[in-house]
């Protein structure tokens, strides 16, 4: 307690000395120390509790676990809590953000803080973008994953047992690098020793809590950004491999839009843009959870002694990139939309599908299911693909399809190409379904011949992304 009181006193003094900028709405709750800014765990704890107390309409605060030394891992969830769903009844979009894996990367942690703060401030100011985002999305933001390392100004957590870290000297245990501790090719990049990946995947309470939260609450997320500080760069998967990820089309499209419209920040595959790295939260987020995942690295140019540039100004361009990624989260998956469905029962079925999303889907199928029990009564014999922003028209053999009361068509597909991406089932509106009963013999006697698998016609009418303005 004594330490905390002293710390608070020094915090208040330094804040009043060094920050003649306002301490009101948008001010950074940290302080400048030496040549960088610093927000203690205590300052963060006070700040997020104030957010929750003052903004119950949009802020939910919880702790998802404790650090190695028992500090809370605060999760701030932002959304318009007067609505459980979007206005049209659809589930809200889910966004996951974390900061502070590495305790000495303050500007990355600050960017996570600033992102949350921007939506709170702008919601209260009635900003259309913020209101729209919070009505249609949930932003789950864990600002400081490594509070022990943060307060000790060190990269690793403070698990100093040598047993937990077989890669360091017994004399000088260094803690664990949390961003090498995830269960995705853990400790599978050489050399491992500088990175202190822990005694096994998820050996550390911080990473375990983070992964538990992803698996429990964020399965539907279509964006995960993890924030660090080092070289000014945005990294997408993989860290493990130099090859481009399965959803390269999505990542490259986002890169083009950011670089054309918002920022010149380099955006690269992590393995090539940085160096090979394994067991990271980014590769876990994409390879295991199936999220579109980015590591956002702010640069390391912090502040000169006794200068305290407002964090809003310092990270404005980075915040603009975050706002773009969040505002457009609806697009970061395949979004199949049926435009027409012609059914000739006992004969054939032709479906026209648009992909409104920016990711490709490869293994889509059409099902016919009982609307009450969900029982699948028929399924297209072959899978089909729809590239990002393209359309497909597919004809299936429907000789064994019999229409029933209380049944309807359902699209079943993966949101992205990566194996781990989520499968979705989406009803096809009955209004789009045209049923024609034809004389089977007369029809087959005509010139049309159906491939027993499928005929796939892909119209590349939108091979390039539509440019939009911001």
Q: What is the contact surface with Zn ion in residues (CB under 5 A)?
A: 102, 105, 228
- State the nearest-atom distance from the C-beta of 289 to Zn ion, in Å: 19
Rg (CA), the chain: 25
- Residues 361 and 414: beta-carbon distance below 8 Å: yes
* Structural tokens at position 281: 């939260």
CA distances from 197 to 183, 189, 200, 201 (A): 11, 11, 7, 8
Q: Hey, which bits of 143-275 come out as E strands? A: 224-230, 233-236, 267-269
- State the nearest-atom distance from the C-beta of 183 to Zn ion, in Å: 19
Q: What is the DSSP letter of 97?
A: E
Nearest residue to Zn ion by CB is 228
- Residues 204 and 181: beta-carbon distance below 8 Å: yes
Three-state DSSP class for residue 118 = helix
Please identify, using beta-carbon distances, which residue of 112 and 407 lies nearer to Zn ion.
112
> Distance between CA 417 and CA 410 in Å, rounded?
20
- State the nearest-atom distance from the C-beta of 297 to Zn ion, in Å: 7
Q: What DSSP string runs through 297-332?
A: EEES----TT----HHHHTHHHHHHHHHHHHTGGGS
Angle in degrees, 0-180, between the axes of helices 106-124 and 41-54, rounded to the nearest 10: 10
- State the nearest-atom distance from the C-beta of 166 to Zn ion, in Å: 22
**CA atoms within 13 A of residue 202's CA, in its CB half-sphere:** 8
Angle in degrees, 0-180, between the axes of helices 41-54 and 2-18, rounded to the nearest 10: 80
Other beta carbons less than 10 A from residue 432's beta carbon: 15
Please identify, using beta-carbon distances, which residue of 229 and 421 lies nearer to Zn ion.
229
- State the nearest-atom distance from the C-beta of 152 to Zn ion, in Å: 15
- State the nearest-atom distance from the C-beta of 427 to Zn ion, in Å: 43
Please identify, using beta-carbon distances, which residue of 175 and 253 lies nearer to Zn ion.
175
Please identify, using beta-carbon distances, which residue of 266 and 346 lies nearer to Zn ion.
266
Please identify, using beta-carbon distances, which residue of 196 and 417 lies nearer to Zn ion.
196
Please identify, using beta-carbon distances, which residue of 237 and 253 lies nearer to Zn ion.
237
Please identify, using beta-carbon distances, which residue of 228 and 282 lies nearer to Zn ion.
228
- State the nearest-atom distance from the C-beta of 231 to Zn ion, in Å: 10
Residue whose entry in the numeric block shows the structure tokens 């047992």 = 161
Please identify, using beta-carbon distances, which residue of 149 and 253 lies nearer to Zn ion.
149
- State the nearest-atom distance from the C-beta of 227 to Zn ion, in Å: 8
């Amino acid at each position: 307690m004594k330490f905390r009181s002293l710390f608070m006193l020094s915090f208040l003094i330094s804040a009043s000395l060094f920050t003649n900028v306002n301490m009101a709405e948008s001010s950074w709750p940290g302080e400048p120390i030496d040549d960088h800014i610093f927000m203690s765990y205590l300052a963060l704890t006070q700040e997020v509790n104030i957010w929750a107390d003052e903004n119950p309409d949009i802020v939910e605060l919880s702790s998802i676990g404790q650090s190695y030394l028992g500090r809370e891992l605060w999760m701030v969830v932002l959304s318009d809590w007067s609505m459980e769903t979007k206005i049209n009844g659809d589930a809200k979009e889910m966004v996951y953000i974390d900061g502070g894996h590495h305790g000495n990367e303050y500007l990355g942690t600050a960017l996570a803080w600033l992102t949350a703060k921007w939506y709170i401030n702008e919601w209260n100011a009635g900003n259309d973008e913020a209101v729209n985002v919070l009505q249609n999305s949930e932003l789950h933001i864990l600002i400081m994953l490594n509070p022990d390392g943060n307060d000790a100004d060190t990269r690793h957590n403070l698990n100093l047992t040598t047993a937990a870290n077989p890669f360091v000297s017994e004399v000088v245990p260094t803690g664990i690098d949390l961003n090498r501790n995830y269960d995705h090719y853990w400790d599978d990049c050489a050399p491992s020793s500088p990175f202190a990946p822990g005694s096994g995947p998820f050996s550390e309470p911080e990473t375990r809590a983070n992964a538990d939260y992803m698996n429990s609450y964020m399965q539907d997320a279509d964006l995960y950004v993890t924030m660090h500080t080092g070289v000014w760069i945005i990294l997408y998967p993989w860290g493990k491999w130099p090859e481009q990820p399965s959803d390269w089309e999505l990542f490259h499209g986002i890169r083009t839009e950011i670089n054309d419209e918002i920022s010149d920040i380099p955006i690269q595959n992590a393995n090539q843009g940085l160096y090979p790295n394994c067991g990271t939260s980014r590769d876990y987020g994409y390879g295991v959870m199936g999220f579109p995942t980015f590591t956002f690295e702010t640069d390391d140019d912090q502040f000169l002694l006794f200068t305290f540039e407002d964090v809003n100004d310092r990270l404005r361009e980075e915040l603009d990139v975050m706002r773009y990624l969040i505002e457009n989260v609806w697009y970061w998956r395949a979004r199949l939309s049926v435009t027409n469905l012609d059914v000739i029962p006992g004969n054939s079925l032709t479906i026209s599908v648009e992909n409104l999303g920016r990711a490709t889907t490869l293994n889509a199928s059409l099902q016919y299911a009982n609307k009450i029990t969900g029982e699948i009564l028929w399924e297209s014999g072959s899978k089909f693909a729809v590239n990002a922003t393209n359309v497909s028209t597919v004809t299936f053999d429907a000789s064994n399809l019999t229409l029933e009361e209380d049944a309807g068509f359902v699209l079943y597909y993966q949101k992205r190409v990566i194996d781990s991406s989520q499968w979705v089932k989406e009803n096809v509106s009955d209004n789009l379904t045209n049923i024609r009963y034809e004389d089977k013999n007369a029809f087959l006697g005509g010139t049309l011949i159906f491939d027993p698998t499928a005929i796939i016609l892909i119209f590349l009418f939108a091979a390039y992304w539509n440019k939009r303005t911001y």
